[in-house]
């Protein structure tokens, strides 16, 4: 059996869909962050697969930058979660409605 580009893209599509479902279904803010990481990784996988099959280095550069941004996003996002938990004693996003006034 030969591994083609489409196999990697199917895997990536599956991972991205699971991430989307997780964001829509789960109520725990931290788990939602994890699902966002899942989606970022799905996109990284298709970048690396395209980079391999097109012999182009730019896909891997993009993955490098996505990882950096994901690290920054996780740090700031978790700080926000800690700050919210300190005020509300919950991470349930249904109970966090500060912006409604």
Q: Rule CB under 8 A: which of 5-44 touch another protein? A: 5-11, 13-22, 24-28, 30-31, 33-35, 37-38, 41, 44
Minimum distance between the CB of residue 5 and another protein, rounded to whole angstroms? 8
- Contact between 53 and another protein by CB under 8 A: the answer reads yes
Residues 61-80 close enough to bind another protein by CB under 8 A: 61, 63-65, 67-76, 78-80
Minimum distance between the CB of residue 53 and another protein, rounded to whole angstroms? 7
Residues in the chain: 101
């Amino acid at each position: 059996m030969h591994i083609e580009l489409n196999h990697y893209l199917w895997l990536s599509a599956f991972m991205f869909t699971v991430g989307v479902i997780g964001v829509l279904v789960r109520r725990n803010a931290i788990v939602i962050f994890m699902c966002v990481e899942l989606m970022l990784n799905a996109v990284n996988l298709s970048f690396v697969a395209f980079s391999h099959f097109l012999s182009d280095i730019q896909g891997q550069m993009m993955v490098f930058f996505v990882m950096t941004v994901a690290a920054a996003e996780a740090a700031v996002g978790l700080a926000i979660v800690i700050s919210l938990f300190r005020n509300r004693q919950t991470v349930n996003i249904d109970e966090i409605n500060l912006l409604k006034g």
